[in-house]
Structure 1
């Protein structure tokens, strides 16, 4: 979009927050870059230039605006809506793959050479993978500086910098302030400090956001010990790269309040990425709803409660296991089966603020389970153990950078994986916005009540007009039934 100068200028002059994250405005006279909705007086048109990413702005020598903090914009919705290599690369970079595995590791996951990935990202985002990862490190550093009392040396390494000097230079270059100055400014305007050891931050999103199906779904399907709804917040444990964490997510009219407790601060970037992914916070609800509203039978559902998101997961392997446990049983039964696995094979954790007791067991931990101890039909035991084996040995990878069609083929090849299981995993674990569940009982009942075709084949044909947002259509269709997933807990 950044190449459409006229459209970008209109967005900046109207301070349209819908375009935050889509592009960034760099001001040639001040050498500052902003988000489109920056509250300051817009610069003259001839002094504006536009970039597709914060990293591209930084690489061109611009520093972040202290007023609108463009580095905290929601991510571009393109990266979650597309399946090509650039979108997959951006999802992996956001998950910290470059920091952990370098550019060669990123390229290997995508099946390209490092040079090809560099060229593709430069062409579309104006910055290569190292620059994009550097911009993300700067944002992580800023969060740790402003929301914790960690010594600066610990902040530097927790944010992924290789040296304190690089950390200091990057913070000064990006924010035009030294790390100590950033902390002082934050302290002057801070609210009362959070619980020691807890990182409190705001997760931005594009309005509107309807929290009822999003948090209602997560609360209704919560696995005891791993997830809970407490004091108006969805809480859960997180298995992370260097340790584990507990997060509490609370919906507010203009942001999601996020409270993170981490055993290792180096996991902050990954934890934030997983939480944003879980809540689908980088979506463009206006674009989604406008297309779905064009169907006269869906329009009343959209108009009644716009801004529905797709509730996702923090771990693809975990969700795949839970999807198998939920085959052909009620939500309550699925939670019971999952809770038994958690108690038997999950790693215990301490939660002084609530009732969380375990991490969800990893595929490696589940690979050792005795299938005869599972209270499941024999065929489903085979399905579960085969899935766990493929996840544990790495022949099946379910993550944010996974190729959606390849994953569909690999899942379909496993015993006991029908269309419903494959599509629900593709929708909620892999984030395909066009995943569709025409065989789902709730969808078929909704279709019958709305006058849509009720057979899977006919409904799939009708749903072609909803592409590429069929996963969001599913969220609206599920609201036809009065199910707990559609309501925030009392």
Structure 2
């Protein structure tokens, strides 16, 4: 979008927050970059240039605006809607792969050479993987400086910096303030969020999103399908355990009108950036609801649903392999039965964790932990036991890689080749585990029931044909159709 100068200028002049994260405005005279909705007086057109990422702005020598804080805007929704190499690379960088595995690790995951990845990212984003990862570290550092009481050494460590000196130099270069000055400025400006009393060992943050956001289906779905011991709804928050590269964690996510409250307890602060990324991914916080709802409103039969409760998101997962296992357990059974089956697996094979502030007890078992389970111990039909054990074996040996970097169509083909995997299971995994915004479930009973009540075609083939006009946002249409049913997934717990 940054190449469409006329459109960018209109967005800046109207201070349109819908475009925050889509592009950044760099001011040639002041050498400052802003988000489109910056409240400052817009500069002259001849003094503006538009760049696709904060990293590109920083690499070109621009400093972040102290007023609009462009680095804290929601991420670009473009990476959620695409499955090409650049989009997959961006999802991996946001997931901290460059910090943990370097550029060679990123390239290996994508199946390209490091030089190819560098060239593609520079061509589209104006910055390579190292610069993009550096910008993310700077953003995480600022978030912690302004919203936590962590010592600066812990902030540097948690944000992924290799040394205090690099941390100090980066913060000064990007924000034109030292870390201490940034914290003092934030305190004076009253930017520290009003959060519950700090619990030792926890970090409280705000996760931004593009409005509108409808929390009912998002949190209702997560709460209604929560696996006992791994997830729970407590005191108005969805809580769950997290398996992370360096340790474990527990997160509590609370819906608020203008942000999601996030409280994290981590055994290793190096996992902070990844934990934030996983939570944003699970809640679909980088979505562009204006684009999604605008497309779906074009269908006169869907428009009333969208107008009634706009801003629905797709509830995803923090672990694609976990969700794939749960999808198999949920085949042809009720939500309550699926939870029961999953809870038994957790109790028998999950890794215990401590949760002094709630009722969580385990991590969901990894594929490797499940690889040796005895099928006879599963209270499932024989065919479904075979489906589950085959899936677990493929996940455990790496022959079925599922994650945010998956090629959606390749993953579908691999899933469909497994015994017991039909269109419903494959598509629900594509939607909720892999993040494909166009995944569709025309054979789902709830979808067919909703279609009949709205006057839409109710047979899978006819409904798929009608849904062509909803592309590429059919996964969001599924959320609106599901919402016509009075199921627990459509209500926040009392």
TM-score (norm 2): 0.97
- State the match for 2:429 in structure 1: 425
* Matched position secondary structure for 1:414: coil
Superposition deviation, residue 365 in structure 1: 1.0
Note the alpha carbon deviations across 1:222-273, whole angstroms, 9 max, x for none. Answer: 1111111111111111111111111111111111111111111111110111
The reply on whether 1:332 has 2:339 as its aligned counterpart is no
Q: How do residues 121-132 of structure 1 correspond to structure 2 at under 5 angstroms?
A: 121-132=121-132
In structure 1, the gaps of 5 or more residues are: none
- State the match for 2:485 in structure 1: 481
Superposition deviation, residue 368 in structure 1: 2.0
Higher alpha-carbon deviation: 144-153 or 90-99: 144-153
- State the match for 1:252 in structure 2: 256
Judge conservation of contact 2:95–2:278 (CA < 8 Å) in 1. Answer: yes
Judge conservation of contact 2:415–2:421 (CA < 8 Å) in 1. Answer: yes
Structure 2 distance, partners of 1:375, 1:167, is 53
Note the alpha carbon deviations across 1:99-139, whole angstroms, 9 max, x for none. Answer: 11111111111111111111111111110111000000111
- State the match for 1:406 in structure 2: 410
- State the match for 1:305 in structure 2: 309
- State the match for 2:157 in structure 1: 157
The reply on whether 1:25 has 2:25 as its aligned counterpart is yes
Partner residue of 1:453 out of 448, 452, 457: 457
Higher alpha-carbon deviation: 140-149 or 404-413: 140-149
Partner residue of 2:475 out of 468, 471, 475: 471
Note the alpha carbon deviations across 1:157-180, whole angstroms, 9 max, x for none. Answer: 332222222111111101111122
- State the match for 1:434 in structure 2: 438
Q: How do residues 230-309 of structure 1 correspond to structure 2 at under 5 angstroms?
A: 230-309=234-313
- State the match for 1:9 in structure 2: 9
Superposition deviation, residue 152 in structure 1: 2.6
Superposition deviation, residue 390 in structure 1: 0.9
The reply on whether 1:60 has 2:60 as its aligned counterpart is yes
Structure 2 distance, partners of 1:249, 1:454, is 36
Note the alpha carbon deviations across 1:70-112, whole angstroms, 9 max, x for none. Answer: 1111111110000111111100100011111111111111111
- State the match for 1:353 in structure 2: 357
Runs of 4+ in structure 1 off by over 6 angstroms are none
Structure 1 distance, partners of 2:81, 2:400, is 22
Q: How do residues 357-376 of structure 1 correspond to structure 2 at under 5 angstroms?
A: 357-376=361-380
* Matched position secondary structure for 2:36: coil
Superposition deviation, residue 186 in structure 1: 3.4
- State the match for 1:388 in structure 2: 392
Superposition deviation, residue 154 in structure 1: 3.2
Superposition deviation, residue 43 in structure 1: 1.6
Note the alpha carbon deviations across 1:170-220, whole angstroms, 9 max, x for none. Answer: 111011111222233334433466222221111111111111111111111
Structure 1 distance, partners of 2:317, 2:294, is 26
Higher alpha-carbon deviation: 179-188 or 449-458: 179-188
Superposition deviation, residue 146 in structure 1: 3.0
Q: What is the number of equivalent residue pairs in this alignment?
A: 490
Superposition deviation, residue 448 in structure 1: 1.3
- State the match for 1:147 in structure 2: 147
In structure 2, the gaps of 5 or more residues are: none
Superposition deviation, residue 145 in structure 1: 2.6
Structure 2 distance, partners of 1:8, 1:196, is 45
Structure 1 distance, partners of 2:149, 2:210, is 30
- State the match for 2:106 in structure 1: 106
Partner residue of 1:379 out of 371, 376, 383: 383
Superposition deviation, residue 355 in structure 1: 1.1
TM-score (norm 1): 0.98
Structure 1 distance, partners of 2:147, 2:39, is 24
